[in-house]
Amino acid sequence: MPDYIRKHVEGHSFVDIGCMWGVNGEYAFIAEEAGATDVKGVDVFDPTPEFEEKKQAKNSNVEFILGDATHPDTLDKNGL
């Protein structure tokens, strides 16, 4: 998956649905590093300490959204 993301995201927006599920936002960070223009991670779980540490260490602009990506309100409120 990481190679696919790196190959296709440059210049595009990227949304990582379920970003905390065992990967702590890693795909979102990969997308940002590969040149995605706007990166968001959505999950029903709070961001993990590992995610927060990586975000700070990388000086990342990845936006975390706490919500259910299958619910229209989550999508509408966040421009997804």
Q: State the pLDDT at residue 68.
A: 94
Helix residue ranges, H only, the chain? 2-8, 26-33, 49-57, 72-77
First CA to last CA distance, the chain:
22
Q: State the pLDDT at residue 76.
A: 86
Residue 13: helix, strand or coil by DSSP?
strand
pLDDT per residue over 3-13, tens digit each?
999 999 999 99
Give the torsion through C-alpha atoms of 62, 25, 58, 11, to 10 deg: -50
pLDDT per residue over 13-70, tens digit each?
999 999 998 899 999 999 999 999 999 999 999 999 999 999 999 999 999 999 999 9
Is 0.85 surpassed by the pTM of this model? yes
